[in-house]
Amino acid sequence: MKLILQSQMDRLIKNFRKHKDAWNDEHPSNVDSKVVVKLFNPAGSGTWWLSELNPDNNVAFGVSDIHSKEIGYIDMMDIINFKGQFGLPIERDMYFQSNKFTLQDIMDKQ
């Protein structure tokens, strides 16, 4: 299974560019993009909800929940190269409803 579909990749990059265009040091403006894709470790702890992806350095922005939820940057090479128990890689939640929740919605959920 492909980790991130091309349509999801396009949306992640579009969200990154939208946020980058809205941000400047003099008048910062936050863009709260919706979560595009949910990834998880099928053999242990670890869930990631991604809303943006910088195509230049392959760093995503979103919520990670390994021991507790945190908003921040995620190096996609770490996700892609990860092999958990039994050699299982990180997987995409095929049933996650894209563009429904913001990162804050994810943080607020128990």
Residues 6+ apart with CB under 8 A from 3: 39, 79, 80, 89, 90, 91, 92
For 79, the enclosing helix (H) or strand (E) is helix 76-81
Q: What is the mean pLDDT of the chain?
A: 90
**E runs forming strands in the chain:** 37-40, 47-54, 59-65, 69-75, 91-92
Mean pLDDT calculated for residue range 29-54: 90
Max mean pLDDT range (26-30, 45-49, 105-109): 45-49
Claim: this prediction has a pTM higher than 0.85: yes
* Residue 29 reports pLDDT greater than 60: no
Q: Is residue 54 part of a domain?
A: yes
pLDDT score at 20: 78
Domain extent, residue 12, equals 6-23+36-108
Q: Is residue 10 part of a domain?
A: yes
The structural domain count of the chain equals 1
